[in-house]
Amino acid sequence: MEKIVVVVEEVEVAITALKWALHNILRCGDVLTLLHVYPSKSKKKLRRFRLKGFQLALSFTEICTAFPNTKTEIVVTEGDEEGRRIAAVVREIGASTLVVGLHDRSFLYRYITLQNNSIRHLNCKVLAIKDPTTSPTSSTISIEGHSTMMDLSQIEISELSVPQIPPKKIPYQICPDPNAIIWRSRPTRK
Within-domain flag for 102: yes
Within-domain flag for 139: yes
* Full residue range of the structural domain in which residue 41 is found: 3-156
Residue 52 has pLDDT above 80, yes or no: yes
**To 5 degrees, how large is the angle CA 70–CA 123–CA 69?**
5
* 121-170 per-position pLDDT tens digit: 678 888 888 876 654 433 333 334 433 333 445 555 544 444 566 666 66
pLDDT for position 92: 92
For residues 139 and 176, the model is more confident at 176
CATH of the domain at 26: 3.40.50.620
**To 5 degrees, how large is the angle CA 101–CA 107–CA 112?**
115
pLDDT for position 3: 92
Q: How many CB atoms lie within 10 A of CB 77?
A: 15
Within-domain flag for 190: no
Within-domain flag for 174: no
pLDDT > 70 fraction of the chain, expressed in percent and rounded = 63
> How many folded domains does the chain comprise?
1
Residue 190 has pLDDT above 70, yes or no: no
Within-domain flag for 187: no
Q: Return d(Cα 16, Cα 60) in angstroms, integer.
A: 11
Residue 118 has pLDDT above 70, yes or no: no
Within-domain flag for 183: no
Q: Return d(Cα 34, Cα 190) in angstroms, integer.
A: 90
